[in-house]
Structure 1
Amino acid sequence: MTDSAPPANPTRVLVTGADGTIGRPVVNALLAAGISVTALSVAWSAPSPADRVFTGDAADESLVRRAFEDVDAVVHLAAIPHPGLGTAREVFVGNTSATFTVLDAAGELGVRRAVIASSINAFGVPLNRHDLTPAYYPLDELSPVAHDDAYSLSKWVDEQIGAWAHSRHGITVIALRFPLVRDLPALRTIAARLGQDSGEQARLAREGWAYLAMADAVDAVLRGLTRPVTGMHTLLLAAEDTIIEEPTDLLLDRYAPASERRRAFPGRTAPIDTSAARRALGWAPRHRLGDPIGTTYLETLA
């Protein structure tokens, strides 16, 4: 659904995975915007600036329901973020049970807005062990699925749980398909390494050599909490250029010659279709690898 609705304007947001790579910047950005935060994480690398903090598993129903006290929106980022960080069962069951627990509790407790972390891997091809390339470029939310690993499957199922939660409880759910997300300095370090690694370039063809600056990821989360939309939305995010310093069409000629190319990609244009996020959230990526460094993600969101 894409019906319009009044802005959400949450006063307190529960952030799960609040100690994670995206979780800490999201907590900081919410606080900077004057929004109170309840932070939940299975462990902490440093104290959280949130005024309410819970430690434990986002699949723990009793803990999650306590954490929802006075909350009117949720950002669910808690997950095992890679198939190699547990057994297939641990990754799939851990991720999907946490998402179900959080969204079911949110819906039953009257929370009307949820932003959840999906992944560019949700369609399965990027981490598939078999010799596959995407059916077509640019990648979009309808790219044909081919699941072979538990993490990618869990992210795809998380999206289906979001659709279920909307149908069951009427909660608006925004599932953001994040690519590689880091601050610009870290992304530049990664880009320099990838420029010398043809094997990694070939592997990353499956996800369109996509990346996203942290500022743009945080911006999408905040828009997901506040934009006047209803329903369930799965939205693919990426920067406008690729992380590889070569023309995109040449990269596709080299690494994905059999995939359908639905349009040209001049220069280093990312072969990723982010138009759904632009329509639903009014979001657009504002940062590229070549941008000057000197402002923080909080300053760019001002």
Structure 2
Amino acid sequence: MTAALTLAGHQTMGFDLVNGHDVRDGADLERMSAGCGAIVHLAALDEPVDDPGLAEFGPATTGTDTRVFETNVVGTSNVLRAAERHGLPRVVVMSSVDVLGCFAGRGRPSYLPLDDRHPTRPAGAYGISKWLAEQMCEAATAATGVYTVCLRPPGVFTEQTYAGIRRARRDDPAFEWSPIWEYGAFLDVRDLASAVERALTAPLAGHHRLLLCAADISSAHDDARTLVTRLLPDVAWRGGAEYLQDPFRALIDTSGARTLLGWAPRHRWRPSRAK
């Protein structure tokens, strides 16, 4: 992320555990953010992955429920306080699709495709902590005027992730939807970086919560409508003719981020259709 922002012309200052910093340390965070023009808050802990078969694709940093809340909630509070103390105009916070409460096998969506208006019903320490962080951002904007943008990506893929998923599907074709199905949703790490950069620079005001996703689903064979019919036949379908024109279209609507930020994902699951 730092490299991508630097390439886009931003001067960056890192604040990371590997360098001895901790987002739970409000005094250090406030000291380090002096002189900055904005804060991009990526620090987070997730819950451990229960299924050994998913461990390879799970989060890189995990902890107990207590540590998750300390890092994700208290840490976000420290970020917002530092922004207020220094009069910073904008904070970009990495949230998650987990705030919707229908990922990671924890619940069912109210309808598909998912969009920014979908109800939030978070479950588990990680999802609840991210939802609380969003709530704090909204409150901070109302109280201080700092602009806050909460980005909600699904699983973020690197080249290693792509290779690992294709290998797992080769060994077990059912891996795509068993034990859980994540709607084929993913986001290339390069597109996440571009979304963060746009959240920093796009002309906006107020508080915003925006879903991010690649333009297509990471399906091995079946298209989006076929998979929805097979795996979630009772969920209300709100898709239109766009799924006839692009059968592998993502099941997450990112029109909010596209409109507000002027952002669009460039990297698809199917290289032949990459833009």
The bucket for the TM-score relative to the shorter chain is 0.7 to 0.9
Once the two structures are TM-superposed, the CA of residue 184 in structure 1 deviates from its matched residue by 4.1
In the other structure, the counterpart of 2:39 is: 74
- Identify the match of residue 98 of structure 1 among 75, 78, 82: 75
> 2:75 and 2:164 mapped to 1: Cα distance?
33
Structure 1 equivalent of residue 25 of structure 2: 60
Identical positions, percent: 35
Q: Which runs of 5+ in 2 are unaligned?
A: 50-61
Q: Match of 1:150? A: 125
What do the CA deviations read for 1:205-255 (whole angstroms, capped 9, x no partner)? 3x4211111221110000000000011110100011111122111111111
Match of 1:164 among 133, 136, 139: 139
Deviations 1:121-165 (A, max 9, x none): 111221354xx3211001112222333200011111111111011
Measured in 2, the distance between the counterparts of 1:151 and 1:225 equals 25
Q: Unaligned regions of 5+ residues in structure 1, if any?
A: 1-25, 45-54, 293-299
CA contact (8 A) 1:96 1:158 kept: yes
Partner of 2:66: 89
After TM superposition, the structure 1 stretch with the greater mean CA deviation from structure 2, 225-234 or 259-268, is: 259-268
Alignment of 1:102-113 (within 5 A): 102-113=79-90
Shift of 1:63: 0.5
Q: What per-residue deviation string (whole Å, max 9, x for no partner) do you get for residues 97-142 of structure 1?
A: 001110121022100011110011111221354xx32110011122
* Cα distance, 1:149–1:61 mapped onto 2, change above 3 Å: same
Partner of 1:40, secondary structure, is: coil
Answer yes or no: is the 8 Å Cα contact 2:47–2:65 preserved in 1.
Answer: no
Structure 1 residue corresponding to 2:208, chosen from 227, 230, 233:
233
Distance in 1 separating the partners of 2:3 and 2:199: 16
> Residue 18 of structure 2 aligns to a residue in which SS?
coil
Cα distance in structure 2, aligned partners of 1:200 and 1:100: 37
1:212-227 aligned at under 5 Å gives the runs 212-227=187-202
Q: Which has the higher strand share?
A: 1
Please say if residues 127 and 149 of structure 1, whose CA atoms lie closer than 8 Å, have aligned partners that are also in contact: no
Q: 1:91 & 1:241 partners in 2: Cα distance? A: 31
- The Cα shift of 1:172 comes to 0.7
Q: Distance in 2 between matches of 1:61 and 1:257?
A: 47
Between stretches 29-38 and 225-234, larger displacement belongs to 29-38
Structure 1 segments, 4+ long, off by >4 Å, are: none
TM-score (norm 1): 0.78
| Aligned match of 1:43 | 18
Q: Measure the CA separation in 1 of the matches of 2:144 and 2:236.
A: 39
Contact 2:168 2:175 in 1 (8 A): no
Q: TM-score, normalised by structure 2?
A: 0.86
Once the two structures are TM-superposed, the CA of residue 79 in structure 1 deviates from its matched residue by 0.5
**Aligned residue-pair number:** 255
DSSP 3-state at the match of 2:46: coil
CA deviation profile, 1:83-105 (whole Å, cap 9, x unmatched): 55222222123211001110121
RMSD, aligned CA: 2.0
Measure the CA separation in 1 of the matches of 2:123 and 2:167: 29
- Once residues 153 and 247 of structure 1 are traced to their aligned partners in structure 2, the CA distance between those partners, rounded to angstroms, is 31
Tell whether 2:225 aligns with 1:263: no
